[in-house]
Amino acid sequence: MRTLQRFILTLLAPLFCSMLLANNIQVNRVNLTEVNTSQNYMMVEFDLTWENSWQTSSLPKNWDAAWVFVKFRVGTGEWQHAWLNGDGHIAGTSATIEPGLLYFGSGFNATTNPAMGVFIYRSANGTGNFSVTGAKLRWNYGNNNVADDVDVEVKVFAIEMVYIPHGAFYIGSGGSEDDAFYRYPATNSAFNVLGEDDINVGTSSDYLYYSSDYSGGDQTGPIPAVFPKGARGFYCMKYEISQQEYVDFLNTLTSTQAANRYSGSNTGYRYGITATGGVFSTTNPYVACNFLSWMDGVAYSDWAGLRPITELEYENACRGTSAAVANEYAWGAASVAGSPYSLNNNGQNTEAVAGNYSITDGNASYNTTDGSTDGPLRVGIFAANTGSTGMVTAGASFWGIMELNGNLSEHVVTVGNASGRTYTGMHGNGILSANGYANVTAWPGLDGDEVTGADGSGFRGGDWNSNSSKLRVSDRNSAAFTSTERANNFGFRAVRSRKFSVGEEYGGGIIFYLDGTGEHGLVAATSNQSTSADWGCDGTYISGTGTALGTGKANTTVIVNGCNTAGIAARICDDLVLNGYDDWFLPSKDELNLLYQKRSIVGGFTDGWYWSSSETSSLKAWLVHFPSGNTKEDSKFLQYGVRAVRTF
């Protein structure tokens, strides 16, 4: 096989100095190697590097990553998305490769559920420049219907992303933002998103609610369980789509597709994209890309194997696990720079704020600081400044994500109408329609088999032409405002869901079991609820308890209904309110055995016997010994350990 190799760098990010913010990502030395014609795969080899990378096991307990994907074409044919394998990739000992499957809740299948790309990130805590030499991705070219004797050209794309871990967070700040979320009836009370279950919306006590004086939405619900709420871990683009990223996207499309994703009538406001002879370029490659309609942004997301961000995920991307602060910005304070900026090195990768950079307040581009710029700035510009002292002055979010407030108004999926609430968070498959539109099931604006509208979308974050109040994290002035326009202040960033893993924090504890879908399982509390509780009601047979996986919750209900004794093992779990959850239960025998197998991951166990909720007779119930794993039946009146679990 004769192979041609070429790389396109999708993010020519700026250089700036911040230990939290990776930048200047580069892909080099792309090569096709190790062709296996019997199994129809080859390795796509390349070097990857970026500056100021990080991973930390202390707060915020996250990392930055490169989302790497491959496009190919046979001869001079159309560019297509390469289907990668579920394993067999190589990144060396310093890096972790995490494949991103098309359907993250299902297992890998080479033809129906391939990897759309991979996340590459540090395998251990660290900060600073990060390089991977000779990374190799296994491309199953046969499944892409590529023959053994054709010329193949590949492009490797890398997009900087930030991981937002599983966990609860607040929406709404309790402040005075337009149409902000709150926990009914107290408008000054933020709403705690604990997980991905349904969220009730309305005027019942403790429901989610919001006013709709502007474009907040229809004030109805519920928000379904399948709607991505942000409590489940996800990766978010560190920056808004840059003009160079969008150019690289356009240059892989057919002429028909590109004609629907670009308009030559968009001029001014620092928009520098033009086309000459069917080839796109830009005079402002490092500047955030404006004039992006909803249809443009979701087409880019589909092409890259990503998806649109929801407005709930947006608030998590800003606020993280911090307590809500009234009227706050993404950097966790309610103050923002207030003098017009002047720039130097305009349009270059060193574009910087030369005058009026705040060394105390958060920096952001909005109508006061815009000065005479009249358009968006270079992505990551505020963290690059020598006067930056950290997250606040860099204008960074809790997680290290840039320009979530100001610069460009970002398209989001709204919860403010039914079309938005039907969104299920499916990822793009890398393939657009023949006309250049996204075509993913349940994406807002889908009409037939193309996303040609914007119903179900809205905007968050404000922009270079907004007043400062519209930049606030919880401002929903335009959250359900539908627009199909390409405007000079509209931009986009995409996200990708991450699968659950055993050992991760989620749902009030530690995941110790996942079912076959990978979407549901069991969580254990991280400490004992008791070391000396009896099972209860010795001599009374509590009929209806089982031993199998999935019976513990019902067992607990049967026990507390049939035994009124205070302080018994099942009641301790049933009464438990921990980390915002009140649905804990005493595990069944088989569930407790699973917990024993993952005891080192969950932690906090003392040596001894632990009660299950599985009864054997009127006098005895099952126990499991930690750390031996032995099981036994013993008398209900004896006192042993208790560890609560819950389902998700």
pLDDT digits (tens, 9 = 90+) for 617-641: 999 999 999 999 999 999 999 999 9
Residue 487, pLDDT above cutoff 70: yes
Q: Poorest-confidence range of 7-11, 523-527, 556-560, 611-615?
A: 7-11
Cβ(76)–Cβ(85) below 8 Å: no
List of domains in the chain: 1-164 (no CATH), 239-497 (3.90.1580), 505-647 (no CATH)
pLDDT (tens digit per residue) in 60-69: 999 999 999 9
Distances (CA, A) of 357 to 134, 221, 389, 489, 578: 40, 43, 12, 22, 44
Token pair of 560, please?
Answer: 């507390």
E-strand stretches of 56-164: 64-74, 80-81, 95-101, 115-122, 126-139, 152-164
Query: Within 10 A of 219 (CB to CB), how many other CB atoms are there?
Result: 15
First to last CA, the chain: 49
Residue 273, pLDDT above cutoff 60: yes
Burial (CB count within 10 angstroms: exposed 0-12, middle 13-18, buried 19+), residue 213: exposed
Position 4 confidence tier, pLDDT thresholds 50, 70, 90: very low
Query: Within 10 A of 83 (CB to CB), how many other CB atoms are there?
Result: 23
Position 454 confidence tier, pLDDT thresholds 50, 70, 90: very high
What pLDDT, on the 0 to 100 scale, is given for residue 22?
Answer: 35
Position 92 confidence tier, pLDDT thresholds 50, 70, 90: confident
pLDDT (tens digit per residue) in 293-352: 999 999 999 999 999 999 999 999 999 999 999 999 999 999 999 999 999 999 999 999
What pLDDT, on the 0 to 100 scale, is given for residue 14?
Answer: 29
**What are the start-end ranges of the H helices in 417-512?**
418-421
What pLDDT, on the 0 to 100 scale, is given for residue 13?
Answer: 31
List the one residue out of 556, 518, 561, 531 whose CA is nearest residue 646: 556
What CA–CA distance (Å, rounded) separates 301 from 494? 6
| Mean pLDDT across the chain | 94
E-strand stretches of 140-231: 152-164, 169-171, 181-183, 191-193, 208-210
Cβ(648)–Cβ(521) below 8 Å: yes
Residue 21, pLDDT above cutoff 50: no
What CA–CA distance (Å, rounded) separates 391 from 369? 19
What pLDDT, on the 0 to 100 scale, is given for residue 512?
Answer: 98
Residue 106, pLDDT above cutoff 90: no
User: Please, what sign has the CA dihedral across residues 538, 543, 547, 549?
Assistant: negative
> Looking at residues 266-287, what average pLDDT do you find?
97
Residue 7, pLDDT above cutoff 70: no
What pLDDT, on the 0 to 100 scale, is given for residue 1?
Answer: 33
SS3 category, 146: coil
**What share of the chain in percent tops pLDDT 90?**
92
What pLDDT, on the 0 to 100 scale, is given for residue 6?
Answer: 41
> Looking at residues 505-519, what average pLDDT do you find?
93
Helix (H) / strand (E) element for 602: namely helix 599-602
What pLDDT, on the 0 to 100 scale, is given for residue 93?
Answer: 87
Residue 215, pLDDT above cutoff 50: yes
